A and B are shown apart, each in its own frame.
Chain A
Amino acid sequence: MTDQPISTPKFLESLRGLLHPTDRLLLQEAGPDLQVEYFTLPKGTVYTENPMLDGHISIVQKGIVGVSHRMENLVNWSHFYTPGSFVFNLEIHKELNAMDSKWHVLEDTHVYSIDTNAEGSAALERLMVALKLQRSLLCSYQYQHYINEHGLDRHDYSVKWLRSNNKVAAALPRKELANFLGVSNSSLKLYLKEALDHA
């Protein structure tokens, strides 16, 4: 981990987007006190927990992290973090991980991060209270988003997903990719062809 100067406008823009509109000014007020950290998660690592990110809000700058869970002895991919994604370690927190969720680092992954327990000015503390509340809500809402995506037509969704996530698709064995998209191996073959034809 290294401390980076706040030359990270995209990260700060994403943090701004995480806040409720009525709280976005807090980021301007507390900006000078904000300490942005930079982590690298090495390719091939599987995290069953990541206490280093306790209390953090992180965003992927570069790389891919896949998330798997276990149900009735099956390992299932549920989603992938790619550049711009928020990453919270609550989903793999030791005490809350009944489904054996894991992070699989599929490429060297660089994340910008802030520690919401950082102390400082009153403005910084107000900002952190607002960010912690949003993090708590978003951790759960992210899964609602994945649920909503899975409610979409499988054919259309799969083709669109394969087109915009070709690097992730290439990193997974076909069987696991079909399992992730919730389609059969033969459907996946057709959808891959369709995605490539329109690429």
Chain B
Amino acid sequence: MPRSKVEVIAGRLAELTGLPENFPDFLAFGALFEGPFHFTPGENIWGSGQKDGYVWYIQAGYGFDKVDLEDGTMMLNGMIEPGLFVCDEKNLLWGKLTGSSAKLYTHTTAYRLATDRWREFAYQHADFRSVLYRINAHFLQMRKLRLIKMKHKDKKAYWEETKARFPGIELYCTQTEIASYFGVSKSTMHRIMK
């Protein structure tokens, strides 16, 4: 029997935190999401410059999220895959226009929650906030590692590792977007990929 939206989202939060699936805040949080929304390959979940922001939960499907850089180019930021909560962080933090985009390359099913409702929920649920702080602390560690890898890991080895983790990456991201991900010029990236 297919699981309901609430069960899917609460179940994933339970997996991430080790708390039970019937943790009341998880059930209440899951119930706030709209959806499911279905996307086809090539569609964006969101694009740059949008006013309305959402926290998305990806139930099924794959894609890439890209960040707008100060110089007007875009940088590959990471992969969208099942089980992830994704959003534009500038929009979430300060309600600014989105500065990133998320493009899919497979059929995808996702649920969404408007960022103002997300914020209201967090303010009203102290236990949920504690869980959120733990998850964000984990993200901080992941990003530390990503930054240091980007700066200092052997680029050829890092490319091989990334290609293995994100199969088909060259088909869905430009060489410039990939080069930025590794912190190298486009010509250096071209050499590495060869």
Docked-complex contact B147 and A20, CB < 8 angstroms:
no
Docked-complex contact B95 and A141, CB < 8 angstroms:
no
> Whole-angstrom distance between the alpha carbons of A96 and B136 in the complex?
11
Contact A141/B75 with A69-B144, A136-B133, A147-B143 known, Cβ cut-off 8 Å:
no
Q: Digitize B153-194: 1 where CB-to-A-CB distance is under 8 Å, 0 elsewhere.
A: 100000000000000000000000000110111000000000
Partner of A150, one of B71, B89, B95, B151: B151
Docked-complex contact B140 and A139, CB < 8 angstroms:
yes
Docked-complex contact B147 and A152, CB < 8 angstroms:
no
- Residues of A contacting B185 in the complex (Cβ-Cβ under 8 angstroms): 153-154
Docked-complex contact A22 and B95, CB < 8 angstroms:
yes
Within 8 A of B (CB), among A142-195: 143-144, 146-148, 150-154, 156, 179, 182
> Whole-angstrom distance between the alpha carbons of A21 and B96 in the complex?
9
Partner of B94, one of A21, A78, A98, A147: A21
> Whole-angstrom distance between the alpha carbons of A138 and B151 in the complex?
21
The count of A-to-B residue pairs whose CB atoms sit within 8 angstroms is 114
Chain B, interface SS category: helix
Total chain B interface residues with beta-carbon distance under 8 A = 41
Contact A143/B150 with A134-B93, A154-B183 known, Cβ cut-off 8 Å:
no
Q: Digitize B107-140: 1 where CB-to-A-CB distance is under 8 Å, 0 elsewhere.
A: 0000000001001001100000100110011011
Q: Digitize A104-140: 1 where CB-to-B-CB distance is under 8 Å, 0 elsewhere.
A: 0000000000000000000000000110111011111
- Residues of B contacting A22 in the complex (Cβ-Cβ under 8 angstroms): 95, 116, 119
Residues of A within 8 A of B (CB): 20-22, 69, 71, 74, 76, 78, 90-91, 93, 96, 98-99, 101, 129-130, 132-134, 136-141, 143-144, 146-148, 150-154, 156, 179, 182
Q: Which 4 A-B pairs have the closest CB atoms?
A: A143-B143, A151-B180, A151-B75, A140-B139
**17 contacts across the A-B interface (CB closer than 8 A):** A69-B144, A69-B148, A71-B153, A76-B152, A99-B144, A101-B144, A129-B123, A129-B129, A138-B93, A141-B90, A143-B143, A143-B146, A148-B67, A150-B183, A151-B67, A151-B181, A182-B183
